[in-house]
Chains A and B, each alone.
Chain A
Amino acid sequence: MKKLTFFLLILFSPILVWAYEPIIPIPRTVEYDENKALLGKRLFSETLLSSDNTVSCHSCHDFNFGGAESKPVSIGVYNRVGNLNAPTVLNSYFNFRQFWNGRAIDLKEQAKGPLHNIIEMDMTVEKVEKVLNAHDEYLGLFKQVYGKVPITFELVVDAIAEFEKALFTPDSIFDRYLRGEIELSKTEKKGYILFKTLGCISCHNGINIGGNSFQYIGAINPLENEVKGDLYEISGDPFDKNRFKVPSLRNIALTAPYLHDGSRKSLADILILMAYHNLGFSLSQEEIALLTSFLKTLTGKTPKILQ
């Protein structure tokens, strides 16, 4: 009898596994310090934080484009051109690492990157502190929020990170479906099942539908062009060649162009690319349509702090 039970358990265990949804809805509320976040919001679009006073965080993380940029790659101070397409800042709090190659453990660390990057904002800790401490309004704001001045670099990135924490987009159609509040349309549902059966889910899962592991681009068929900005650039480990942090699919309908180099302009383009290079085959038109309709259910509400 025991043996039989065990056998049945083995037999039906895949069904039990399928009962899990590998995608988790974004919580409706995330606790954050509103004063810090508002100060961070101000700093986010502050061009004083760049060496030529032309670039702010917002320059590349445009909320009109889902917190990402419409250009293929970022353009920084003095029109210096970067290598990579800026990933969306929305829901970035839920990523396990930041940057395409995941070199930052959290948002605070991430915020320092573009500020220091010569191509992007081209600032130093001293410069940032000098600029802000010379600014009466910021002195007042920091005093009010943190209860202390002078303004330090750490406080600046803290405020920005707090703002970014507030940039979560709950209540997408798909999240509401996961919560059992609504039903997906047939195409959307089919798209989701296809997403799972094709194996997209293997990398795009979790709360951010991605953003929680490193994976290869071109796992089956390598990309034609030489890849830039992968993990290999920082680790030197051959294993890390073409290895990136999996990007989130949240709000993907808003964040074109796609791919690390912003080389794919539409959802269909990126779907075709990903199917071929990472799964090894070409999607049918029907499959593209189904997957696209699924991906469009992932657009959430505009964060409260941006309303």
Chain B
Amino acid sequence: MIRFRFKIDLAILFALIIGLSFFYLNYATQRLLHSHSEILHQLTDLDLHNEQINKEVLNAAYRLYDTYDRVNLLLQKVRSNLALVKSNPILRSAPYRKISNKLQLFDISLNKKEKAIEKFITLNAMIKNSATYVPSLSTRYLQGFDKHDKEYLLELLNITSAVFLAHNAMDADLLEAIESSINKLKLKQFDSEEEKNFNRLFLSHAQVMTRYLPLYRPIFENILSGNSSQLLHEIEESFVTISTREANKLSSISYAVMLAFLLSIALIVFLLFNVEKSRRKQVQLHRELQYRATTDSLTRLDNRFAFLQEEQLLNDSHALLLINIDSFKDINDFYGRQIGDRALKHISKVIKQFANAISLNQIYRVGTDDFALIVKNKTSKELMSLTQDLIVHIESRAFIFQDIQLFLRVSAGITNTSPLLETADLALRKIKNTRNKLLLYSPEQDLEKQAKENLTMMQFIQEAINKDYIVPHFMPLMRNTDETIVAFECLIRLQDEQGKLYFPDEFLPVAKKCRLYGDLTKIMVEKCFKKFANVDYLFSINLSIEDIEDNDVSNFIFAKLEQFPETGKRLMIEILESEDVQNYSCLQYFVDKVRPYGCRIAIDDYGSGYSNLQHLLNMQVDSLKIDGSLVEQIATNQDTSVVVNTIVDMAEDMGISTTTAEYVANKEVFKEVQSLNITYSQGYYIGKALPELITTPDYATK
């Protein structure tokens, strides 16, 4: 910033200097030009008047008489011209000192000239008069006197002609010849006073000539050939030389200033160029930053920030598909982050492929494993089918790495309700609690409502514990070989004071979240132990991984087994095999601990999801409960039948002693179950879960 300020100041300073230089040059040039022409003009005037003086002097010499006013006037003019030239300020500056000195010399020569002219005029008046008097007196001698001395007359004429010649020739030498004549006249004796006076008068005038003519010519020549003219010409010449030199100096400076000006223009162009360059750089940088800020570096898709920006431009006609990778965390944990990233890249590529094929290009990565797709003008039905297609598209394309094929599972939240991302996320979360792959958000699924319901449910569960609303129901299990009820599965139900029954689906998720789950399990265990203490039936209790990992619950179970060993021998613990099982060692510990009491271990919902054979073998499970969704189709779907058969065979191979089929709803299913050598059946065909123990199957009583 300081540098910038400095540059600006420097530029202004530079501009000022150049500007002032221009002004100065302009001023100096004008001054020079003006003074030059002025002085030259004055010098010319001076020269002219000086020459005119010479002309006047010539005039005076030529004419018998004339006015001297003109020559005086001209001298006055020359004086004032000279004063004007001398007063010009430019002549006081150093380069013109020479001129000033010469003007001083001219002044001196002018004074001399003036004095000479004054003398010349004095002499001129006398000489002119005498030059006319001498011949006229000769004439008068002839006219005025009766008798003429011939010799005397000859002398007069001799003098007259010499005076005439000498005057006209302006040559005093010509008068030398008359000296003897003058002497003769001086010595001549006259009879009359008149003659004597005449002679004296004549002599006086002749002597004016002899006396003053020798002075007259040198003064005359001195005036005309004086050095004043020459001096003036010298002054003019040196003035022109000096002022030309000064003008050259100025033009050199002006070249320099012009050069500086051009340089500064070049500098400005350069600076402008630089500014433009850095501006472009900035624009580029800005674009890059924008790109980085709005682009996900991993998948090259637009990021959440970009989506949030875009979202503001969206309206009711827009809808959002939010695709989430199921259990992405597991992929990351299991295969490592690097593979996880590659999986993300793969999936983004696949989504892009799908979207581009149907001309959608607004794809965003809005979370770690969340991908958003903006679509427009689609009905709910179209949205659902589009999403279904997308899911199929994704799930049918394996992610391959190091020769391993991995089919990624995804779920999708769909929304056309603003705010899109939030509502889509809600829909997605809703799905995770179910087994669905996709869900269209509707305002009824509102989270707030859910939260409220959760709170109500939580309070209800607490109340149920306090007021003992827990009513175990017992689902009969029939041995397939002899169609006898031999066991019951204990299922938890809550029954409020109005007698309304609540099923586990409704309250267990809430209970699990608020740590009331353990209490429910303990009450169930307590009640079931009581119920089956004095009857000779097997009974099974469902435990979740949370129960087993909860020391309080597991210790309670251990204590019950210790306290009621007879009852404990008939207990079967059903564990839900699921991907949630993180800590197998804990599970193994539990199994090892309960087995000595004669407890049996069953795996619930086997074949529904994620089952690990290794773990099954390690735990030495006693029973497998085949998932109801398989059993349901057993009579109608040949494939399902094969799968169930395989499970049964496998269980036998693994030394698992018993198998149970759930959801046996009718005779057809039951027959099939019987034919597949499954040990037990349970379901509505056999009997519903009731608070009382049913000892005969339903179908037998009908």
CA distance A216 to B67 in the complex (A): 17
Cβ-defined contact, A212 with B128, below 8 A:
no
Instruction: Please provide the chain B residues from 78 to 119 with a CB less than 8 Å away from any CB of chain A in the complex.
Output: 118-119
CA distance A220 to B63 in the complex (A): 21
Known: A213-B118, A213-B121, A214-B122. A22 touches B204 (CB 8 A): no
Residue of B122, B128, B129, B201 near A243 (CB, 8 A) is B122
Residue of B64, B68, B129 near A279 (CB, 8 A) is B129
Q: Which residues of the partner chain A approach B126 to less than 8 Å between Cβ atoms?
A: 202, 215-216, 219
Known: A199-B132, A219-B126. A214 touches B121 (CB 8 A): yes
Q: Which residues of the partner chain B approach A216 to less than 8 Å between Cβ atoms?
A: 122, 126
Cβ-defined contact, A206 with B205, below 8 A:
no
Task: Decide yes or no whether B261 CB sits under 8 A from chain A.
Answer: no
CA distance A22 to B121 in the complex (A): 15
Query: Which residue of chain A lies nearest to B120 when distances are taken between CB atoms in the complex?
Result: A213
CA distance A243 to B132 in the complex (A): 22
Chain B interface category by residue count:
20 to 34
CA distance A23 to B72 in the complex (A): 15
Task: Decide yes or no whether B133 CB sits under 8 A from chain A.
Answer: yes
Residue of A20, A22, A96, A282 near B72 (CB, 8 A) is A96
Cβ-defined contact, B67 with A212, below 8 A:
yes
Cβ-defined contact, A202 with B205, below 8 A:
no
Closest CB in chain A relative to B315 CB, distance in Å? 89
Q: Which residues of the partner chain B approach A212 to less than 8 Å between Cβ atoms?
A: 67-69, 72
- Further contacts, 13 of them, CB under 8 A, given A212-B68, A212-B69, A279-B133: A14-B64, A17-B64, A22-B65, A22-B67, A202-B126, A202-B129, A205-B66, A212-B72, A215-B122, A220-B201, A220-B205, A243-B122, A279-B129
Query: Do most interface residues of chain B lie in helix, strand or loop, or is the interface mixed?
Result: helix
Task: Decide yes or no whether B557 CB sits under 8 A from chain A.
Answer: no
Ordered nearest first, which 9 A-B pairs have the shortest CB separation? Answer: A206-B69, A199-B129, A206-B67, A202-B125, A96-B72, A212-B68, A213-B121, A280-B201, A220-B204
Known: A199-B129, A199-B132. A219 touches B208 (CB 8 A): yes
The interface centre, meaning the residue of B65, B66, B201 with most chain A CB atoms within 10 A of its CB, is: B65
Query: Which residue of chain B lies nearest to A198 when distances are taken between CB atoms in the complex?
Result: B129
Cβ-defined contact, A22 with B133, below 8 A:
no
Task: Decide yes or no whether A221 CB sits under 8 A from chain B.
Answer: yes
Chain A interface category by residue count:
20 to 34
The interface centre, meaning the residue of A20, A206, A212, A280 with most chain B CB atoms within 10 A of its CB, is: A280
Interface digits, A234-245 against B, CB 8 Å rule (1 contact, 0 not)?
Answer: 000001000100
The interface centre, meaning the residue of B63, B66, B125 with most chain A CB atoms within 10 A of its CB, is: B125
**Hey, which bits of chain A sit against chain B, CB under 8 A?**
14, 17, 20, 22-24, 94, 96, 196, 199, 201-203, 205-207, 212-216, 219-221, 239, 243, 279-282
Closest CB in chain A relative to B379 CB, distance in Å? 105
Residue of B63, B125, B132, B205 near A17 (CB, 8 A) is B63
CA distance A196 to B119 in the complex (A): 22
CA distance A120 to B66 in the complex (A): 36
Cβ-defined contact, B122 with A213, below 8 A:
yes
Interface digits, B196-216 against A, CB 8 Å rule (1 contact, 0 not)?
Answer: 010011001100100000000
Q: Which residues of the partner chain A approach B66 to less than 8 Å between Cβ atoms?
A: 17, 20, 22, 205
Cβ-defined contact, B65 with A196, below 8 A:
yes
Known: A22-B66, A23-B67, A280-B205. A213 touches B133 (CB 8 A): no
Closest CB in chain B relative to A97 CB, distance in Å? 9
Closest CB in chain A relative to B565 CB, distance in Å? 144
Known: A199-B128, A199-B132, A220-B208. A205 touches B118 (CB 8 A): no
Q: Which residues of the partner chain B approach A215 to less than 8 Å between Cβ atoms?
A: 121-122, 125-126
CA distance A216 to B65 in the complex (A): 17
CA distance A281 to B198 in the complex (A): 8
Cβ-defined contact, A201 with B118, below 8 A:
no
Query: Which residue of chain A lies nearest to B117 when distances are taken between CB atoms in the complex?
Result: A213
Q: Which residues of the partner chain A approach B201 to less than 8 Å between Cβ atoms?
A: 220, 280-281
**Could you pull out 10 A-B pairs where Cβ atoms are within 8 angstroms?**
A199-B133, A202-B65, A205-B68, A206-B68, A212-B67, A212-B69, A215-B121, A220-B204, A220-B205, A243-B122
CA distance A24 to B129 in the complex (A): 21
Known: A196-B65, A205-B68, A207-B69. A213 touches B125 (CB 8 A): yes
Q: Which residues of the partner chain A approach B133 to less than 8 Å between Cβ atoms?
A: 199, 279-280
CA distance A212 to B201 in the complex (A): 27
CA distance A24 to B67 in the complex (A): 8
Closest CB in chain B relative to A192 CB, distance in Å? 13
Q: Which residues of the partner chain A approach B63 to less than 8 Å between Cβ atoms?
A: 17, 20
CA distance A199 to B64 in the complex (A): 9
Q: Which residues of the partner chain B approach A205 to less than 8 Å between Cβ atoms?
A: 65-69
Residue of A201, A219, A279 near B65 (CB, 8 A) is A201
CA distance A216 to B127 in the complex (A): 12
Query: Which residue of chain B lies nearest to A221 when distances are taken between CB atoms in the complex?
Result: B204
Query: Which residue of chain B lies nearest to A209 when distances are taken between CB atoms in the complex?
Result: B67
CA distance A207 to B73 in the complex (A): 12
Query: Which residue of chain A lies nearest to B118 when distances are taken between CB atoms in the complex?
Result: A214
CA distance A23 to B132 in the complex (A): 20
Cβ-defined contact, A203 with B125, below 8 A:
yes
CA distance A243 to B197 in the complex (A): 25
Q: Which residues of the partner chain B approach A280 to less than 8 Å between Cβ atoms?
A: 133, 200-201, 204-205
CA distance A212 to B75 in the complex (A): 12
Residue of A20, A213, A239 near B68 (CB, 8 A) is A213
CA distance A303 to B132 in the complex (A): 39
Query: Which residue of chain B lies nearest to A281 when distances are taken between CB atoms in the complex?
Result: B201
Q: Which residues of the partner chain B approach A24 to less than 8 Å between Cβ atoms?
A: 67, 69
CA distance A78 to B201 in the complex (A): 46
Q: Which residues of the partner chain A approach B69 to less than 8 Å between Cβ atoms?
A: 24, 94, 96, 205-207, 212
Q: Which residues of the partner chain B approach A17 to less than 8 Å between Cβ atoms?
A: 62-64, 66
Closest CB in chain B relative to A279 CB, distance in Å? 7
CA distance A17 to B132 in the complex (A): 15
The interface centre, meaning the residue of A23, A205, A220 with most chain B CB atoms within 10 A of its CB, is: A220
Interface digits, B243-285 against A, CB 8 Å rule (1 contact, 0 not)?
Answer: 0000000000000000000000000000000000000000000
